Amino acid sequence: MAEMSPMWFILLGITLAYVKAMPLRTLSGVTHEEAMLELKAFKASITMRDSIASTPPSYSPSLSPSPLPSQDLKKPHVYLVTSYGADPTGKSDSTEALLAAIADAAKGPSEGFLMKDIKDLGGAQINLEGGKYMISKPLQLPLSGVGNFMIHGGTISASDNFPPDGRLIDLSASGNINSYNYEYITLKDLFLDSNFRGGGISVKNSLRINIDNCYITHFTNTGILVQGGHETYIRHSFLGQYITAGGDKHERDFSGTGISLQGNDNAITDVVIFSAAIGIMVTGQANTISGVHCYNKATGFGGTGIYLKLPGLTQTRIVNSYMDYTNIVAEDPVQLHISSSFFLGDANIVLKSVKGVVNGLNIVDNMFSGLNNGIDTVQLDQSNSPFNQIDQVFVARNVVKGMNLKATTAKMSMQGNGTSWTADFNKLLLFPNLIKHVVYTLSANGNTFPNHALRNVSQNRVVIETDEAVTANVFVTVDQSMAS
């Protein structure tokens, strides 16, 4: 049964009330049947009008036509590079076509401003349309001071006459007077082939840059170079000088650096560096490295997984990462945290002395798996100078297989008869001659109550003596990490 509008009930009720209220004389000459037929006809007319009124119109009426959008508003924010003449097969040079598309996007309609003097391009996109494009010089934005812009979706490769020291995508600007060159630029879903001529991406003095899901290969200097600025985020990407999956016969010849962070407050997350002499070089402060897999060039061949070259002010966090036959080297580390990571194939951590400073260092909750070559999990490189300023260093709770465990805390138990017990911690403790805190317990057998005392703590040895010979169990805990 069709559902009737509530309005019909209201009108019908009013009508019935009106009929009932009519004087009988108004119905004179009209039979009851005729009156009911008139009421049914009235009801039908109301139902028809209600149905028509409830049907939505197929169009929205307008008293006057809408004005046409202005030319600026009609201008697209997506720039298809093939419409500029770029060759998606990679057979001919597409440099000028790609630069023309970038130039149009950079001077496109502005949605306002981001940071001071940074024009918001409103999410303008350079769409590579899944093609492969060969270029003979770096792709640079024609001017600084723009943001909210993306290049995505294709392959860019260097030609044989590409500058040997250039980068395929170069976010830098000469003569810039702004505090930052660019803000919120996104480079996404790109395959960058440097053709052994230069590098992949350069970001200079910029803010909030995203490098996401990129594959960068065949670089000779650096896959990704970040200079100055801050908050460049590199994630879900793969970098390798040679395309290999490990065990490459040319591994000894790997050169270059996968990622170089020469700025502050950046993050590298879920990134694989599979071939380079150095996986990640860090010379800036307050950077985070998480979920990184480095199997670039084995330490045994002279490679380094992560090199922290900022003596005296490291401020770096390395977590949940995988050092695959490659080590971590930190110069004079101050405020460095390494945790929840896996070190395979004798991969280890080296603390390299420059001025002999190590302060605020945590190396905790890691797994080390070695080849039974007698390699220490944490090593001291004191070839320049010995470490002589050591404070707040905590190396503990790591698990080891096939390597020598090194820590700043250790425990030992001894059992025997005599008046002197010596606990030698040199095989376990990281620093020589640096026990800062000792706790021991002596449990003598029998009914004797000997006097006992801690007699000497030097050269990482603890000596405990009793005033008479006893059979006893001695438990000793030492700590090098206490703040001085």
Coil, strand, or helix at residue 211?
A: strand
Q: How confident is the model at residue 2 (pLDDT cuts 50, 70, 90)?
A: very low
* Mean local confidence (pLDDT), 55-83: 55
* Mean local confidence (pLDDT), 268-295: 98
Q: What is the pLDDT of residue 33?
A: 60
* Mean local confidence (pLDDT), 188-215: 97
Q: What is the pLDDT of residue 59?
A: 37
Structural domain contains residue 42: no
Q: 116-125 burial string, b = 16+ CB within 10 Å, else e?
A: eebbbbeebb
Identify whether residues 298 and 386 lie together within a single domain: yes
What whole-number distance in Å separates Cα of residue 286 and Cα of residue 337?
11
For the chain, percent of residues with pLDDT exceeding 70: 83
In this structure, the number of other CB atoms found within 10 A of the CB of residue 143 comes to 14
pLDDT at 49 over 90: no
In sign, the C-alpha dihedral spanning 82, 135, 256, 253 is: positive
* Mean local confidence (pLDDT), 297-304: 97
Q: How confident is the model at residue 36 (pLDDT cuts 50, 70, 90)?
A: low
Taking only the tens place, the pLDDT of each residue in 79-127 is 999 999 999 999 999 999 999 999 999 988 887 789 988 999 999 999 9
Structural domain contains residue 49: no
Q: How many domains does the chain have?
A: 2
Structural domain contains residue 58: no
* Mean local confidence (pLDDT), 298-315: 96
Identify whether residues 163 and 238 lie together within a single domain: yes
Identify whether residues 183 and 302 lie together within a single domain: yes
Identify whether residues 453 and 316 lie together within a single domain: no
pLDDT at 41 over 70: no
Query: CB under 8 Å to 379, separation ≥6 — which residues?
Result: 348, 349, 350, 351, 406
Identify whether residues 380 and 415 lie together within a single domain: no
Predicted TM-score (pTM) of this structure: 0.83
* Lookup result for tokens 């793969």: 238
* Token representation of residue 374: 């007698």
DSSP character string of 403-450 = SB--BSEEEEEEEEEEEEEEEE-TTTBSSTT---EEEEEEEE-TT---
Across-strand partners of 135? 158
Q: What is the pLDDT of residue 117?
A: 86
Q: What is the pLDDT of residue 22?
A: 42
What whole-number distance in Å separates Cα of residue 397 and Cα of residue 297?
28
Q: What secondary structure letter does DSSP report for 68?
A: P
What whole-number distance in Å separates Cα of residue 64 and Cα of residue 100?
40
* Lookup result for tokens 């046409």: 68
Structural domain contains residue 385: yes
Q: What is the pLDDT of residue 56?
A: 44
Q: What is the pLDDT of residue 371?
A: 97
Coil, strand, or helix at residue 478?
A: strand
Q: What is the pLDDT of residue 290?
A: 98
Average pLDDT of every residue of the chain: 87
Q: If 0-12 CB within 10 Å is exposed, 13-18 middle and 19+ buried, where does residue 77 land?
A: middle
* Lookup result for tokens 């001085």: 484
Q: What is the pLDDT of residue 446?
A: 85
What whole-number distance in Å separates Cα of residue 203 and Cα of residue 167?
10
Identify whether residues 168 and 273 lie together within a single domain: yes
Closest CA to 347 of 398, 287, 410, 393: 398
Taking only the tens place, the pLDDT of each residue in 21-30 is 444 334 445 5
Residue type, 354: V
Closest CA to 160 of 193, 203, 182: 193
Residue type, 384: N
Q: What is the pLDDT of residue 63?
A: 39
Q: 356-383 burial string, b = 16+ CB within 10 Å, else e?
A: ebbbbbbbeebebebeeeebbbbbbeee
Q: What is the pLDDT of residue 455?
A: 94
What whole-number distance in Å separates Cα of residue 346 and Cα of residue 375?
6
* Mean local confidence (pLDDT), 61-66: 39
In this structure, the number of other CB atoms found within 10 A of the CB of residue 76 comes to 13
Taking only the tens place, the pLDDT of each residue in 316-362 is 999 999 999 999 999 999 999 999 999 999 999 999 999 999 999 99
Residue finishing a domain among 384, 401, 418? 401
Structural domain contains residue 484: no
Q: What is the pLDDT of residue 108?
A: 83
Residue finishing a domain among 368, 401, 434? 401
Identify whether residues 326 and 349 lie together within a single domain: yes
Identify whether residues 159 and 190 lie together within a single domain: yes
Q: What is the pLDDT of residue 61?
A: 39
Q: What is the pLDDT of residue 31?
A: 58
Identify whether residues 384 and 281 lie together within a single domain: yes
Query: CB under 8 Å to 353, separation ≥6 — which residues?
Result: 331, 332, 380, 381, 382, 383, 384, 385, 386, 387
Do residues 258 and 283 lie in contact, with contact meaning Cβ atoms separated by under 8 Å? no
Q: In the chain, how long is the greatest CA-to-CA distance?
A: 139
Q: What secondary structure letter does DSSP report for 299?
A: G
- Distance between first and last Cα of the chain: 89
Q: What is the pLDDT of residue 482?
A: 67
Full domain range(s) for residue 154: 74-401
Q: What is the pLDDT of residue 279?
A: 98
Q: What is the pLDDT of residue 110?
A: 80
Structural domain contains residue 386: yes
**What's the residue count for the chain?**
484
What whole-number distance in Å separates Cα of residue 216 and Cα of residue 213?
10
Q: What is the pLDDT of residue 40?
A: 59
pLDDT at 5 over 90: no
Identify whether residues 222 and 79 lie together within a single domain: yes
- In this structure, of 105-109, 261-265, 364-368, 419-423, the range with the lowest mean pLDDT score is 105-109
Q: What is the pLDDT of residue 13?
A: 46
What whole-number distance in Å separates Cα of residue 201 and Cα of residue 159?
16
What whole-number distance in Å separates Cα of residue 163 and Cα of residue 141?
17
Output the domain CATH number for residue 259. Answer: 2.160.20.10
Identify whether residues 358 and 425 lie together within a single domain: no
Identify whether residues 163 and 211 lie together within a single domain: yes
Structural domain contains residue 5: no
Residue finishing a domain among 378, 401, 424? 401
Query: CB under 8 Å to 15, separation ≥6 — which residues?
Result: 39, 42
Q: What is the pLDDT of residue 109?
A: 81
Structural domain contains residue 112: yes
Do residues 358 and 334 lie in contact, with contact meaning Cβ atoms separated by under 8 Å? yes
